[in-house]
Amino acid sequence: MNNFRAAFYSSLLIALISTVAQAQAPRTFVSGVGDDVNPCSRTAPCKTFAAAIAKTASGGEINALYSGGFGTLVITKSITIDGTGALTGVIAAATNGFTINITAPTDQAKTVRLRGLSINGMGTGLNGINVVAAAFVSIEDCVIDGFTGNGINVDTGKVFVRNTTIRNNKTAGITARSASQVGLADVALVFNDTATQGSAVQSIANVYLFGNRR
């Protein structure tokens, strides 16, 4: 009897894991008029990034269908978040806008791509994008504004930022730790580090500028 129960529950667990895996789509969608109980499909989009990422396969993509504010997000797997098709906002008062912390050994890519996002700390947010652990992060066509820490904070990994405005952040526009590298192309760093009027970029030895505007 005990063996039968063990076999039954093992089969049930495998079925549940299989169902969850099948539920994750390679591409999901969010909308300002979506609902997080939806499957995050094009015809039934979700409301927040947090709901969408749970339904998106590792290495997949989340797209914004219509304008809205889609909430802060902790990213623990490879993903692309693309808001270029709509006004895609994130309000991050008293917290980080995006935290990237990919440590799973099964995720060999450890790659994140963020495009077309407006990330607003409202003067109380911590960091706009906080890269704790990742291999490669691309940030393109974004605006990062109003954080008490950094617009972009990088602990480890390689980060490339292109065509992005980083402004009004109190510690620095970008801080890159010794275990990281950051490359910039066509990036505007404006009114950062207003308390001390110091550099808009900390740890400059780890930051590489390509046609950067300061």
Phi-psi region of 18 (alpha: psi -120 to 50; beta: other; left: phi over 0): alpha
Report yes or no: 74 and 54 within 8 Å, Cβ to Cβ: no
* pLDDT per residue rounded down to tens, the chain (214 residues): 556 565 555 555 554 444 444 579 999 999 999 999 999 999 999 999 999 999 999 999 999 999 999 999 999 999 999 999 899 999 999 999 999 999 999 999 999 999 999 999 999 999 999 999 999 999 999 999 999 999 999 999 999 999 999 999 999 999 999 999 999 999 999 999 866 555 688 887 889 888 777 6
* Residue keyed to tokens 């652990």: 133
Q: Is 26-210 a domain of CATH 3.30.365.10?
A: no
Report yes or no: 147 and 125 within 8 Å, Cβ to Cβ: yes
Report yes or no: 136 and 162 within 8 Å, Cβ to Cβ: no
- Distance CA(213)–CA(209), nearest Å, equals 9
Give pTM, 2 decimals.
Answer: 0.88
Task: Output the pLDDT for position 7.
Answer: 57
* Residue keyed to tokens 């990422």: 53
Task: Output the pLDDT for position 116.
Answer: 98
- Distance CA(28)–CA(40), nearest Å, equals 5
- Distance CA(212)–CA(186), nearest Å, equals 5
